[in-house]
Every structure is written in structure tokens, then in C-alpha cells.
Amino acid sequence: MYDNWEDLEKSIINCNKCKLYQNRNNIVFGVGNKQAKIMFIGEGPGADEDKEGTPFVGKAGQLMNKALEGLGIKREELYIANVVKCRPLSNRVPEQDESEVCINYLRNQVMLVKPKIIVLLGSTALKNILGSKYSITACRGKWVEKKQIYYMPTWHPAALLRDENKKIQFWKDLKEVKRRLEEI
């Protein structure tokens, strides 16, 4: 584990620990306020994120930005990262070995940010952070507290693009995150 951002970022710059590196344009490390009270964790970069090197800039990210804006939360106040740092081809779910390689980078990011709240966007983030026993359909919208961090599992914004009915639940979950943030 690294105790500073510079060393952590240097450690990943030429990563080739799994096959995802073979097709990447950019490592999508993370972005935002490095002392944020809220951290968002997604699955992995899509094509737009791979091209720009920034998480959540595609259609799903734009939808998430609109929700945040509607709640009065500025994206710059958050820290946003993904379980894997390189794009899985065809935006497939990262394989277990790929997630296992990247998870220590993510854990180090969490350690450096020291968020009070982590929003887990989708099943991949939920299972990799809290464990495989968790299901997004059973846990979505319910707080989980571990090691003095509050976790809010919710739908990944890409799921909202596929199923409009999930938008209401996503909105409700983010409102709950804002409410909890105001208590901290």
C-alpha cells in the first residue's frame, strides 16, 4: 500500500498484470476530490472513459451527473473510481482475476480518500467491495456500515439506460446519500 497519491499513480501507470492492458488506450485511475466525504465506485471504464482516461464521462456518467446536479451535489466534491482501471472489451463484466488484480489499487484509493460514504454502483462494485454474498437486488437502497464507512449499494447508471423503472430507485438512493451526508 502507498501512503501518497503520487506513488500510487506511478505504481499503476504501466500495469500489465491482467489481459485488460492489451487493448486499453488509457488507464482510468480515478478523478475528483482526494479528500471527499463521498466516493462513488463503479465497475470499469467503457469506451468513452478509455478514450478520455476519466471515469463516468459516457452516457451513464452524463445521467449520473444530471442526478447529482438535481440533488445539488457537485461532481467535483466526490471522488470517483472503478473496480478495474482498464476497459473490458465490449463493456463486459470484469472477470474475477481482473478484478482481483485491480482491487488493491482501489483499496489504496479508499485508504487515501478516507470517505465517510461510498456509493457502490452496481453488482460488480458491491460484490468486490462488500463480498460475493451480497446481491444488488436485495441490498440496493440499504445502508451497510463497515469499518466506520457507510456503503450505499445502488444501480449502476448504465442499468438506468436499459431500464427506465430503475431511475426512481436510483434517485431515492442518492437522496438518502445526501441526507446521510448532511448528518455527518
Pairwise CA distance, residues 38 & 104, whole Å: 19
pTM of the model: 0.96
Give the domain range for residue 165. 5-183
CATH number of the domain residue 114 falls in: 3.40.470.10
* 144-169 pLDDT per residue, tens: 999 999 999 999 999 999 999 999 99
Q: How many domains does the chain have?
A: 1
What does the pLDDT read at residue 91?
Answer: 87
* 79-124 pLDDT per residue, tens: 999 999 999 998 899 999 999 999 999 999 999 999 999 999 999 9
